[in-house]
Amino acid sequence: MQLSPSLLLLALLNSVHAATVLAPAPEPTQFITLDIVNGPVAPDGFTRIGVLANGTFPGPPIVATKGQTLVVKVNNKLTDNTMRRSTTMNFDGVFIDSDNVFNEGSPFVTTCPFGPGESYTYTLPLGDQTGTFWYHSQLSVQYADGLRGTLIVYDPDDPLAHLYDVDDASTVLTVADWWHNTSTSGLAGYIATQIIPVSDSGLFNARGRYNSGPEVEYAAVSVVKGKRYRFRLINMSARANFVVSIDNHTMTIIEADGVATEPNEVNILTIYPGQRYSFVVTANKAVGNYWINAFINSGNAAHNLNLNSTLSRGILRYVGAQDEEPQTPMTAGPTGPDAVMLNEWELVPLDPIPAPEPDFNLTFNTFMPVDLTEWEINNSSYIPPTVPTLVKVLQGETQQSDFNKTENTFLFPANKTVQVEIIDATNEGHPFHLHGMNFWVVKANGTDIINTVNPIRRDVSITGNGNLTVRFRTDKPGPWFFHCHIFYHFVVGLGSVIGAGLDEVAKTVHPTEAWERLCPAYDALPPSEQ
């Protein structure tokens, strides 16, 4: 029997409706297990033992949907005494409410690490937050040994969904620096020589090459001609920034650190440690292979002759193209008048929120003293306290006099706006990262423009040849880490703690017994297991 056009349309509409109704909604709570182990890893062809989540680098991707609660059980099964055997996990960019600050994961600020044979479960309600995030060890520079992975929170009602056709696991991209030596040996060498370690290679989607090393096959990203792809790019480096472009293609930025933005078309961008961007690429060129240039900037390559920035890249491969490398030259991307660079101050949030006028003004002067391997903020190098800040606060220590100068803890009342001007006297380029919340970037590095009307909100922004000025609210009582995301800088002092309404913390924060056991257990460990 043939249906009339009207009945056929009705049948099609009913089938679409049925599919919509029958599509399974995500479970309210998602349970995830990460076993942290020592195991072999060779992303650039050099095999070494790493610190790995579930035995892989990067660790297993965490994929969530808006409104879910993540329950992440982390089992510490580390055995290799040449690296740190304790651990603690941070979920970069995920907002943390004040009453859940003990699950925030910052060692000696909101928690203690946990040793081999121990476990800890992080409970993370995502609320309305969506976007591109990642997770990594927050202990020392342990994540340089491999403990890092992606975390994507999808929005079923993404207001920018009309701009792209594909947004799935295949469009999550990572860049990362990689060392052949352990992070503990790298840190020891840094302290002894004052020369920050330079990585052996740069990785795109966990693959790379180094000078005179094996020709590891470059990671290829598959696209279909005519389709539009939302790529989510995460810099998972412990030190390096990357200059990213795709030969003959433009990139339309639509997200920065979990904040949706007005479309901003560029053809080259620099992404710093901890930062994330989403951009749309239209596969509208001839079927073929195109270089994804991920040019690594990891300091003076003379300090590590393995590093070759040119070898840090991937391939955009159209379906139907030969399985081969592009025949075009390897470059660092567009230059001169052909380069349309991403400028942070040109990013406009899709949902603009004016930056409130500050109630308090704070200046950070960052400086590295001559002949000392340490970084300072206002002449003070951050040294983690033996008793975590949150533990002290819950014990009633909520006044400025309760914190040593080396704790770099700055106290403010609740429900105020703080403006921080970060002065980078050495023009080093520090990606400053605020835990638990975003800040407004009212003056980005590289411009004199002050924008309080519709500035980008994000959680990592860069200093450099111009001062960086950010504002944030102290609406969430608690101690919040604010530090450089170059972990080799952070671990030798470039960190601080923002104490927001600490006299309110004990009223809202009620940690679990599992959290309360962490510090006594860690303190009882022998040094080889810490």
Domain shared by 309 and 387, yes or no: no
Residues 217 and 271 sit within 8 Å (Cβ to Cβ): no
CA–CA dist 422, 465 (Å, integer): 11
Same domain, 280 and 390: no
Does residue 476 lie within any of the structural domains?
Answer: yes
The answer to whether the CB of 123 falls within 8 A of the CB of 103 is yes
Range of the domain at 473: 360-529
Same domain as 334, residue 189: yes
The residue whose two tokens read 């980005």 is 444
Q: Judge if 300 and 442 occupy the same domain.
A: no
Residue length of the chain: 530
pLDDT, one tens digit for every residue, the chain (530 residues): 333 333 333 333 333 333 333 446 789 999 999 999 999 999 999 999 999 999 999 999 999 999 999 999 999 999 999 999 999 999 999 999 999 999 999 999 999 999 999 999 999 999 999 999 999 999 999 999 999 999 999 999 999 999 999 999 999 999 999 999 999 999 999 999 999 999 999 999 999 999 999 999 999 999 999 999 999 999 999 999 999 999 999 999 999 999 999 999 999 999 999 999 999 999 999 999 999 999 999 888 899 999 999 999 999 999 999 999 999 999 999 999 999 999 999 999 999 999 999 999 999 999 888 778 899 999 999 999 999 999 999 999 999 999 999 999 999 999 999 999 999 988 889 999 999 999 999 999 999 999 999 999 999 999 987 799 999 999 999 999 999 999 999 999 999 999 999 999 999 999 999 999 999 999 999 999 99
Closest by CA position to 484, among listed 432, 441, 425: 432
Interatomic CA distance for residues 494 and 316, integer angstroms: 37
Query: Is the same domain home to 433 and 467?
Result: yes
Number of separate domains in the chain: 3
Cα gap 218→216, rounded to integer Å:
6
Full-model pTM: 0.94
Mark whether 428 and 492 lie in a shared domain. Answer: yes
Residue 223 domain flag: yes
Question: Residue 175 in 3-state DSSP?
Answer: strand
Among 212, 245, 430, smallest CA distance to 328 is for: 245
Tell me the two tokens of residue 525. 């460990």
User: Three-state DSSP class for 384?
Assistant: coil
CB 204 within 8 A of CB 218: yes
Task: Please write down the HEC assignment for all residues of 265-290.
Answer: EECEEEECCCCEEEEEEECCCCCCEE
Are 92 and 135 contacting, i.e. CB atoms less than 8 angstroms apart? yes
Residue 13 included in any domain: no
Asked if 390 and 479 touch (Cβ cutoff 8 Å), the reply is yes
How far is CA 373 from each of CA 108, 183, 186, rounded to the nearest angstrom? 21, 16, 13
Plot region of 43 (φ>0 → left; ψ -120 to 50 → alpha; else → beta): alpha
CB atoms within 10 A of CB 365: 13
